[in-house]
Chain A
């Protein structure tokens, strides 16, 4: 028995499928409740449908990128485990790091996860599961107080309104200069995203139906052009 025996086990696929079905059911339940509440708050069904269309179209492109990540990870971890990790709790960068730390910690090569003793694969599963706990646990225990505190501050006075918008601004004020000061293709891709977004913003005023798909279309065009920048200005 090797790690591959466990990685390709029908039991593992079954456990993952059960988990994913449960999450889809919970997501649908949340959707129904949130939709009903939006209608209660006076938002129109058309607006909610536009949000749904926008979210579906927006999610497709990054999901395909995650699919590429699944292929990357499948070389060292098999298909089933990365399928679980990337469908739910993880992200490609975290999974690559966590599996790398797990194998480094055991002093084995990445290839041994599938070809070596099955305890290596099991250890990798546990390390990846334990390692990601901090964020979800913090959310479980502090998100309510933190989020509702900001919500209350927002309506308390003018300062609350200003402060509640600062978090998003702080995030962008770190990432945007960091990306612009990175390699040229990265900076050009960001600028392309801004220009394409401006173009679609103007176009949407003439064709309002385009509004729900602006982000998805911007992302597709920007990513296509990122390949051009990458080829023109190789790093």
Chain B
């Protein structure tokens, strides 16, 4: 017998989510077109065009890497950021800024991923963080000379190499707690046992798991879903009322 959720099933898409996807898709296609306008305009004005022999080796090499990477990223990031994925992808810096920023914003607003509220909050976060990055880089570019000394400071450069572990360390606590939703998934960490063991084994046999992380996510998603399904069927993983729930960030 199917266990029923307490919230009403969604049968149609929330109008805002629908708007956000449609607008995002149009924006994305216009934006991608504009990314080509820049080199094409430069080529036309300066009369300098790349030859096919110059272009093809580089395009093939980077595409061979980027196509599988993109499949893995889209499969894992879109469920987290929902309809703000368009702005996220257009403004880049996903793993080192947009994704953790959106996750933190959902936490601050006490909303869940994959809900209309979670989508709207992720869009607010992505819009704001995109603007912050654009403004900081614009200021930085204008002050490039005076800032050069600071930015090339060895401590600043060293710290810059540790952004990823610092971000994941900060986010790790998010999976341990019960969160702020009316319900929470009891024993959810058990779902991660098999994927974690697999990553450890792959590391022990000498694979550079950190360099391959983005590719490893792709098989880990169905493995984790399979584990979750088995654990749910056995009654180990289940949705229960959250005793820590203090209401969402609602009026």
Contact of B159 among A79, A151, A192, A227 (CB under 8 A): A227
User: A65 touching B160 by the CB < 8 A rule?
Assistant: yes
Supposing A55-B105, A146-B78 touch, asked if A68 and B157 sit within 8 A by C-beta, the answer is yes
CB pair A167–B109 under 8 Å, yes or no, is no
**Cα distance A155–B232 in the bound complex, in angstroms:** 16
Partner of B109, one of A43, A62, A197: A43
Q: Interface size on B (CB < 8 Å)?
A: 166
The docked-state distance in angstroms from the alpha carbon of A27 to that of B32 is 16
The A interface is mostly helix, strand or loop, or mixed, namely: helix
Cross-chain contact B141 with A58 (CB below 8 angstroms): no
Q: A84-B38, A179-B210, A193-B165 are in contact. List 12 more A-B contacts (CB 8 A).
A: A11-B41, A43-B109, A47-B249, A66-B137, A83-B141, A86-B92, A91-B94, A97-B62, A126-B55, A173-B199, A178-B210, A194-B169
Interface string of A129-163 (1 = CB under 8 A from B): 11111111111111110111011101111111111
Which residue of the partner chain, among A67, A177, A198, contacts B209 with CB atoms under 8 Å? A177
Q: A203: CB under 8 A from chain B?
A: no
Collect the chain B residues with CB atoms within 8 Å of residue A105's CB. Answer: 54-61
Task: Give the residue name and chain of the A residue nearest to B123 (CB).
Answer: A34
**What separation, in Å, do the CA atoms of A50 and B121 have in the docked complex?**
11
B41/A15 in contact, CB under 8 A: yes
Pairs A-B, 8 closest by C-beta atoms: A193-B169, A47-B249, A105-B57, A131-B62, A105-B58, A135-B70, A226-B162, A102-B58
Q: Is A6 in contact with chain B by the CB < 8 A criterion? A: yes
Q: Does A38 contact B (CB under 8 A)?
A: yes
Query: When each residue 100-112 of chain B gets 1 if its CB lies under 8 Å from chain A and 0 otherwise, what string results?
Result: 1101110011110
A197-B137 contact given A90-B92, A136-B90, A147-B79, CB 8 Å threshold: no
Q: Is A143's CB under 8 angstroms from B49's CB? A: no
Q: How far is the CA of A186 from the CA of B136 in the complex (A)?
A: 27
Residue of B nearest to A148 (CB): B13
Chosen A-B contacts, 15 in total, with CB atoms closer than 8 Å, are A55-B132, A61-B163, A68-B156, A79-B144, A87-B137, A123-B58, A134-B70, A135-B66, A136-B28, A140-B28, A143-B86, A147-B78, A163-B229, A169-B224, A174-B217
The answer for the CA separation of A137 and B33 in the assembled complex, in Å, is 11
Q: Smallest CB–CB gap between B112 and chain A, Å?
A: 8
B106-124 residues with Cβ-Cβ distance < 8 A to A are: 108-111, 113-117, 119-121, 123-124
- Cβ-defined contact, A129 with B35, below 8 A: yes
* B contact residues around A97 at 8 Å (CB): 62, 65
Residues of B within 8 A of A16 (CB): 38
Contacts of A52 in B (CB 8 A): 124, 128
Tell me the complex Cα distance, A63–B137, Å: 7
